[in-house]
Amino acid sequence: DVKVTQSSRYLVKRTGEKVFLECVQDMDHENMFWYRQDPGLGLRLIYFSYDVKMKEKGDIPEGYSVSREKKERFSLILESASTNQTSMYLCASRRGLGTRRFIEQFFGPGTRLTVL
């Protein structure tokens, strides 16, 4: 069974802290994504990675960085957390581009981050 796991379901941090959100997939997928979900704004892409050590900015990368040292793990880093980064963070993965170019993304359960 396909599985994407995220390190925490709920996280509370203080303003200015460095925050790490971890995502692990067990499907040998090439592509991994980090989204932010806020009410009424849908799923907004922060960063994605199409291969190990390869990353691309999404639509709202400011204040975030990512790391992908191993194929199965994609980390989202908030260098200095701020209250406006309080949100639900969703990780997703999918197979890389091949003969079937456009295929489904599998989502993790999400991490609800609160920055105080």
Partner 1 sequence: QQPVQSPQAVILREGEDAVINCSSSKALYSVHWYRQKHGEAPVFLMILLKGGEQKGHEKISASFNEKKQQSSLYLTASQLSYSGTYFCGTGGGDRGSTLGRLYFGRGTQLTVWP
Range in contact with partner 1 (rule: CB under 8 A) among 13-21, 30-38, 66-74, 76-84: 30-38
Give residues with Cβ within 8 angstroms of 102, minimum separation 6.
Answer: none
- Residue with token string 């639900």: 88
Q: Is 96 in the site for partner 1 (CB under 8 A)?
A: yes
d(CA 22, CA 38): 19
Q: Is 34 in the site for partner 1 (CB under 8 A)?
A: no
Q: Is 71 in the site for partner 1 (CB under 8 A)?
A: no
Q: Is 110 left (phi over 0), alpha (psi -120 to 50) or beta?
A: left
Phi, psi of 13 (to 5 degrees): -130, 165
Phi, psi of 85 (to 5 degrees): -100, 5
* Cβ proximity to partner 1, 58 vs 63, nearer residue: 58
Q: Is 98 in the site for partner 1 (CB under 8 A)?
A: no
User: Smallest distance, Å, CB 18 to partner 1?
Assistant: 26
User: Smallest distance, Å, CB 14 to partner 1?
Assistant: 26
d(CA 92, CA 35): 8
* Cβ proximity to partner 1, 69 vs 98, nearer residue: 98
Binding interface with partner 1 (CB under 8 A): 4, 30-31, 33, 35, 40-45, 48, 50, 56, 58-59, 90, 94, 96-97, 101-110
